[in-house]
Amino acid sequence: MDWAKVKTILIVIFLILNVFLFITNLYTDYDLGFQSDYARYAIKYLESRKIRIDTKIPDRTNQLGTLVYIDKDLDFTYLTRFVFGHEILASTTGDSVFIAEGIQAIKLSDDELTLVDKITYDGSGATDPDSFLKEAYIYLEGLGYRKKDLLLQSQIDDENGKTIIFNLKYKDYVLFDKTIVLTLDTGGMISATIPAIEGKSISSTTKDILSPYQILVMSEIPGGSVINSVYLGYKHIHEGELYAIPVWRVTLADGTIFFFNAYTGEEL
């Protein structure tokens, strides 16, 4: 093949590619413009119902698949060293595991891992209100959880001690029914309750999901509400299922939480 023919073919390919990119950008710009217009109309509609948005609304994700869960691979050799300082053989009954030494313990049952541990931090004399939160991040890092894997849900401080609840995350998505609960009593005993299952992968079979503005317009959120946060994540619909569907969570200023099926907009 001579150079003239090669050059002609390359020019044709270049022109086809440019046409393809032009059409793609045209549709992308149209979609972004539509989303922007819909967002403006949605905000006006919510304002007409005296509903105020006091948070950044996440960017739209067009399609998502379901999230598949698997049993977490637990290393009890490491866990016993982490809690007791040395290895201890586990006592097992079926799927349950129980290991104890003094007041410290490790228990696995019903897809839940519980650690009862003694730590040097007891919160006494702490002037930083987030001191236990910082300690919690350090403790969980020792169990393989990075700060970016966690979303702080709540902190409770009363006469019995301190409690922190985190939602786990899979990549950028919050797992709304997978929580880690850390409780510290006044004697320095910490109890950690951790899910024994974890996200494995998001199904390659995807479906369109509704935008957060579509969810807010379709919802029955009471008039006069203030929206404090909007998150996209995953949640089980039926107990015991090994997969979860995409869900929008809307939290109001008064603490009320709404969950909406991201595929249909149905309130869960």
Strand 96-101 with 91-93, pairing? antiparallel
Residue matched to tokens 């907009």: 265
| Residue 29: predicted pLDDT | 41
Token pair for 12: 């044709």
Strand 226-235 with 173-185, pairing? parallel
Residue (of 190, 156, 177) closest to 257 by Cα position: 177
Domain limits of the chain?
34-66+203-261, 70-199
In three-state secondary structure terms, 73 is coil
Instruction: Provide the residue-wise pLDDT of the chain in tens; the chain has 268 residues.
Output: 565 554 455 444 444 544 444 344 434 443 444 456 778 888 888 888 898 989 988 876 678 899 999 888 888 899 999 999 998 877 776 678 888 898 999 999 878 999 999 887 656 555 566 788 888 999 999 999 999 999 999 888 887 788 999 999 998 899 999 999 999 887 788 999 999 888 888 888 788 889 898 899 888 899 999 999 999 999 988 777 788 999 999 999 999 999 999 999 999 8
Q: What CATH number does domain 70-199 carry, 3.40.50.1580, 3.40.50.1370, 3.30.310.160, 3.20.20.70?
A: 3.30.310.160
Query: Could you count the other beta carbons within 10 Å of the beta carbon of residue 194?
Result: 22
* pTM of the predicted structure, to 2 decimals: 0.77
Strand 52-53 with 226-235, pairing? parallel
Q: Helices H, strands E: what count in the chain?
A: 4, 16
% helix, strand, coil for the chain, step of 5? 30, 40, 35
Long-range contacts of the stretch 253-256 (C-beta < 8 A, 24+): 253/54, 253/225, 253/226, 253/227, 253/228, 254/225, 254/226, 256/225
